[in-house]
Homo-oligomer: A and B are copies of this chain.
């Protein structure tokens, strides 16, 4: 039996890193030679969760084609968000909770996507369906993923299923859900001492909306002014990214995790159109989006519909 690699998307977040570890664990219990790997740096929120539950970060890989013949994708399916070399390997499974696009196989596979807030919520079902017990430290990782993706159950992406899974997993992990959850979010959301360049690569995903080649990036902030105070430098950085990568839009979302609002800093020729998509005015590269916290549910569908 050959090794299968399990990984999430580029610019990994907590759900992507932990789901790779967790699903590799489940596959191992079912007899597979599975290894979790990652496609980028671990952010400080994820590192907080790994430390808390006693895990090392998965091994960093560059090109997947050099590593294995078969892979399992978690927390993503779109080719441009996946590993370099993905076209040269066989995708045997996908476990995801995003829209489906830019994904094609020549053979049938196991593809399990559900419209829930977090990959970990689906993994929680898969443990049950396969009659495998979830150890406390694995449950802790899964709980961390749900907190991260749902902003402690406050995001509109959060479903009843996520809340239920969160309860079960916090109990299995033996932690105080509210207290641990907020501490973890804060560990990732203090932006005051972070370089802007680092913030941009933290959680940036590529999309093509109609003909608009875009990057939609997002960071969580305890204080959005940690970013807005450096707007001039930020806009210049975004303009560079747009030029270097032939983009039409760079959409950088700064989400206030305490008030559940977002401020977006944009660059590129489609900036005005992007503001209009939300019925907003573009104000010196800034779009204010009160009540918006979810890229997946409140941003990507709006841009998809408006720019197609």
Q: Which residues of A contact B (CB under 8 A)?
A: 97-116, 125, 129, 296-297, 300-301, 304-305
Some 12 contacts from A to B, beta carbons below 8 A apart, are A100-B111, A102-B104, A106-B300, A106-B301, A106-B305, A107-B297, A108-B115, A108-B116, A109-B115, A110-B113, A111-B111, A129-B129
Which residues of B are found within 8 Å of A100, using beta-carbon distances? 100, 103-105, 109, 111
Alpha-carbon gap, A304 to B105, bound state (A): 10
| A275–chain B nearest beta-carbon distance, Å | 19
| B112, A108: Cβ atoms closer than 8 Å | no
Which residues of B are found within 8 Å of A107, using beta-carbon distances? 99, 115, 297, 301
Minimum CB distance partner of A300 in chain B: B106
| B105, A101: Cβ atoms closer than 8 Å | yes
A114 touches which one: B110, B300, B304 (CB < 8 A)? B110
Alpha-carbon gap, A105 to B301, bound state (A): 9
| B108, A111: Cβ atoms closer than 8 Å | no
Copies in the complex: 2
Which residues of B are found within 8 Å of A129, using beta-carbon distances? 125, 129
Q: Is the interface of A mostly helix, strand, loop or mixed?
A: loop
| A120–chain B nearest beta-carbon distance, Å | 15
Which residues of B are found within 8 Å of A114, using beta-carbon distances? 108, 110-111
Minimum CB distance partner of A302 in chain B: B106
| B103, A108: Cβ atoms closer than 8 Å | no
A104 touches which one: B101, B108, B116 (CB < 8 A)? B101
| A14–chain B nearest beta-carbon distance, Å | 18
| A162–chain B nearest beta-carbon distance, Å | 12
| B106, A99: Cβ atoms closer than 8 Å | yes
Which residues of B are found within 8 Å of A103, using beta-carbon distances? 100, 103
Minimum CB distance partner of A116 in chain B: B108
Closest 7 CB pairs of A and B: A106-B304, A111-B113, A108-B115, A101-B104, A99-B105, A106-B301, A110-B114
Known: A107-B301, A110-B115, A111-B112. 13 other contacts (CB 8 A): A99-B107, A99-B108, A100-B104, A101-B105, A103-B103, A106-B301, A107-B115, A108-B297, A109-B115, A111-B111, A111-B113, A111-B114, A129-B129
A108 touches which one: B106, B108, B113 (CB < 8 A)? B113
